Structure 1
Amino acid sequence: MASKAIYTVVAVVGIAAASGAAWWYQNKSSKPAGEVSAGAPAGGPGAGAAGAGGAAGPARPPAVEVAKVELVKLTDDAQTVGSLRSRQSVVLRPEVSGRVTKLNFRDGDRVRRGQLLVQLDDQLPLAQVQQAQAELSIARANHKRNQELVAQGFISQRSVDESAANLQVADAKLALASATAARLKIVAPFDGIAGIRTISVGDYLKDGADIVNIEDLAAMFVDFRLPERFQTKLAKGQTARVELDAQPGRKYMAVVQAVDPLVDANGRSVGVRACIDNRAMQLRPGMFARVTAVFGERENAKVIPEEAIVPQGGRQFVYRLVDGPDQDTRIAQRVEVKVGIRRPGRVEITEGLQAGDVVVTAGQQRIQKDGIPVRVLDLNRPAGGGNGPGGGARAGASASRAATPASGAPAAAGAPAAAGASATMAAAAPSAPAGARPLDGPNPCIVASADTARSAVKRNATR
């Protein structure tokens, strides 16, 4: 029993000695040499107080990453898909049956309005026209003779009335025969390009049989649909950017011609039709189109990185930094904001911030309450450099993000990163195709007056 007590005492003393040695070594390594008071013992209370006050000191402010509020040219738009249609399109069909005697066009030829394209056998109708003309001539002569005789009193007025009725009947027969003969001539209803015919000379066509399609390609319609929440933003005269999978890298500008007043009950979407100038003949009906409808543009939109937003319930907050007590410290203020248009990695702020404000983009979880001091962490500064007030950790990230095109538009060559981002967020003008023939005549898509167009642009800019 005595040996067990000795072992217990030795173990307790050993543990206490080891703990004391560890405490002494820790305090000694955390204090500069020569700072320990000579009067205080190495392991006494005085040394413990000096170590707690001199080594740890006040807690350092948390480090955060920041970015500045930028002013950019922002475009309010929406993306969707659509299809191209000809401005005018028709499939020619005969109204009466007959045999084809003449074809006055070739596949793919340009045709003019009123041009005779297909002639059906019209021998019988032409004979009926000649017969009707002869009957009309006889009826006209009889009526004239009766008018002379009634004036002399040789016949009654009833005979004159009957001859006048016979004249009208003969005139109607001639009109009917002429209309029947005219139906055997199939003409172009408008200027366009003929498709590929499905008939040949000698074919017997029944009424309603397909002959050939005529397409007016001077202007192309692009039909697309947007969700019903955009129906208040849509208006005639707005623009839309159109990209085609068949022509990668090319962009076309379309002008909204009409907005369907009926919302589709199945998909809750609104139909829109826009017009593209196709006098260069680069587009064809039926192409698949990727459409970016532009509702308006804001020249000086305030934009911050999306990660700066701290959602809470149904509200949005950011931490704005203001000057602190010294050069390396800033004060974090919690500010409620309202967001507008969102872009990949960026969001517009409509209320709550001003241009040039510095906001926290990373480290918000370290800010435990409003108004505490923080340190700005600059990831781009070299080792040993200071933290500047505006040089946030997101400065380089913002620049690289600004160089990334918004809405898939390429940045302008040779432009700075921020300027390239601003330019790409605006509507891009279509480029002329290489080797395209010169455009002649007015733009077929311009149907509204200049005053109406200016009013639409002004209305979109104020939204």
Structure 2
Amino acid sequence: MASKPLYIVVAAVGIAAASGAAWWYQNKPAARPDAVAAGNGGAAVPASSAGPARPPAVEVARVEVVRLSDEAQAVGTLRSRQSVVLRPEVSGRVVRLNFRDGDRVRRGQLLVQLDDNLPRAQVQQAQAELSIAQANHKRNQELVAQNFISQRSVDESGAALQVAQAKLALARATADRLRIVAPFDGIAGIRSVNVGDYLRDGTDIVNIEDLDTLYVDFRLPERFQTKVRRGQTALVAMDALPDRQYSAVVQAIDPLVDANGRSVGIRGCIDNRHLQLRPGMFARITAVFGERDNARLVPEEALVPQGTRQFVYKLVDGPDQDTRIARRVEVKVGLRQPGRVEITEGLQPGEVVVVAGQQRIQRDGMPVRVAEMPRNGGATPVAAVLPSRAAGAQAEVPRPAGPNPCAQAPSR
């Protein structure tokens, strides 16, 4: 029984020793580099002899001078300058079709003739009545000059003559309504009637489309209403013709802003004498408001925004060939393009700006080094031209010889 207190003391001492050893292991001081080197049989190296840290590496790009367009993107639909669906004004049976599907037709050309036997007979009857009325009136004028009849008889024969003339005009108008002619120069569509069909008034016969000139209707946000003007040029591309590009001249601007979408309707005119385009096609429009030849562009990644202000890090010569000094410069931003931005103030052409690694620059005037850029990698270079005029873009279709029909008023 006397050994029991001894066991308790030995256990307490063992627990205390284990706790102290664990604390020492967790909090032991790290070995100094010079002591480690000496322990390995090498000479002790002082920590101060390792030298200063290397400057951080950054990726850069130069300020490029390019020809920049102030433009906006939109989608639209092609429409004929003139389009009509021919319909008869009166009922009748088709006796003659003077066109084929897809034919070019001229203004005033007879396209469809309805049965006009009865109206032509009425015209002949009216002509005969007019001849009688003219003869009676002439005879009465001669008789009244000899005082054989009264002036009242002459007035009555003159009125009868006017009635006969009106009947003839009515008969001819009725006959003319059975002749359906082309209202303007264009191309006929696919007809929906045949010879022998009986047509009621208002029945669709065929559509006529003026394709020499096409309209492209599109809408732009209301913020562009002060920039768009009549006579400006818009570039038009079609998904159906991906390798071609067309020019459209702005001809009309809707004075009413759409309250639903807050957009302005615009109509452009395309010279289509090549007949490559068709009404109803989907179009992608680039409205060009102006161009500048000496715009300065940098990659968008170069901007470092702070509140409402924009900054970039410009590199200047450093103390040696491999080191540059990063200077923070406030800039004014102009137009933006996908992946690039225009600098109106703060940078000059050819200067070098940081496009990646700005977070490593801890202060203004800090030394940095330019990272080796892998081929076809790193910062995106600024193209010398815009996407709409870049190499490989759609080729603009040349205009045919002769006056541009977009500059001419449509035929009436």
Query: TM-score if structure 2 supplies the norm length?
Result: 0.84
Measured at CA, do residues 429 and 442 of structure 1 come closer, stay the same or move farther in structure 2, by a change above 3 Å?
farther
Measured at CA, do residues 441 and 253 of structure 1 come closer, stay the same or move farther in structure 2, by a change above 3 Å?
same
Where does 1:17-96 land on structure 2 (aligned, <5 Å)? Answer: 19=29, 22-25=32-35, 51=46, 53-57=48-52, 60-96=54-90
| Structure 1 contact 262–270 (Cα < 8 Å) conserved | yes
Measured at CA, do residues 128 and 312 of structure 1 come closer, stay the same or move farther in structure 2, by a change above 3 Å?
same
Q: How many residues align?
A: 392
| Structure 2 contact 59–378 (Cα < 8 Å) conserved | no
Describe the superposition over 1:270-310 as per-residue Cα deviations: whole angstroms up to 9, x where unpaired. 11211222212211111122222222222111000110011
CA offset at residue 368 of structure 1? 2.8
Provide the residue aligned with 1:203 in structure 2.
Answer: 197
2:409 is equivalent to residue 443 of structure 1:
no
Structure 2 counterpart of 1:123, from 114, 117, 120: 117
Describe the superposition over 1:351-374 as per-residue Cα deviations: whole angstroms up to 9, x where unpaired. 22221222221222222333x222
Measured at CA, do residues 198 and 19 of structure 1 come closer, stay the same or move farther in structure 2, by a change above 3 Å?
closer
CA offset at residue 327 of structure 1? 4.0
Provide the residue aligned with 1:263 in structure 2.
Answer: 257
2:411 is equivalent to residue 411 of structure 1:
no
Describe the superposition over 1:304-342 as per-residue Cα deviations: whole angstroms up to 9, x where unpaired. 011001112222221222334444443333222222222
Where does 1:189-338 land on structure 2 (aligned, <5 Å)? Answer: 189-338=183-332
2:167 is equivalent to residue 173 of structure 1:
yes
Distance (whole Å) between structure 1 residues aligned to residue 294 and residue 227 of structure 2: 20
RMSD: 3.3
Distance (whole Å) between structure 2 residues aligned to residue 181 and residue 11 of structure 1: 122
2:403 is equivalent to residue 430 of structure 1:
no
- SS of the residue corresponding to residue 342 of structure 2 reads strand
Distance (whole Å) between structure 1 residues aligned to residue 112 and residue 202 of structure 2: 14
Mean Cα displacement is larger for which, 154-163 or 186-195?
Answer: 154-163
List alignment gaps of at least 5 residues for structure 2.
Answer: 1-8
- SS of the residue corresponding to residue 402 of structure 1 reads coil
The amino acid of 2:223's aligned partner reads R
| Structure 1 contact 65–378 (Cα < 8 Å) conserved | yes
Where does 1:98-137 land on structure 2 (aligned, <5 Å)? Answer: 98-137=92-131
- SS of the residue corresponding to residue 247 of structure 1 reads coil
- SS of the residue corresponding to residue 202 of structure 2 reads coil
Compare the two structures and name the one with the higher helix fraction.
Answer: 1
The percentage of aligned residue pairs carrying the same residue is: 70
CA offset at residue 52 of structure 1? 5.5
List alignment gaps of at least 5 residues for structure 1.
Answer: 34-41, 382-392, 413-423, 433-437, 449-463
Provide the residue aligned with 2:367 in structure 1.
Answer: 374
Provide the residue aligned with 1:353 in structure 2.
Answer: 347
CA offset at residue 398 of structure 1? 4.2
Distance (whole Å) between structure 2 residues aligned to residue 293 and residue 348 of structure 1: 19
Measured at CA, do residues 440 and 197 of structure 1 come closer, stay the same or move farther in structure 2, by a change above 3 Å?
farther
Query: TM-score if structure 1 supplies the norm length?
Result: 0.75
Describe the superposition over 1:393-418 as per-residue Cα deviations: whole angstroms up to 9, x where unpaired. 9997344x538x85466515xxxxxx
Distance (whole Å) between structure 2 residues aligned to residue 429 and residue 233 of structure 1: 26
Distance (whole Å) between structure 1 residues aligned to residue 33 and residue 95 of structure 2: 115
Measured at CA, do residues 28 and 304 of structure 1 come closer, stay the same or move farther in structure 2, by a change above 3 Å?
farther
Measured at CA, do residues 101 and 307 of structure 1 come closer, stay the same or move farther in structure 2, by a change above 3 Å?
same
CA offset at residue 185 of structure 1? 0.5
CA offset at residue 214 of structure 1? 1.0
Measured at CA, do residues 363 and 28 of structure 1 come closer, stay the same or move farther in structure 2, by a change above 3 Å?
farther
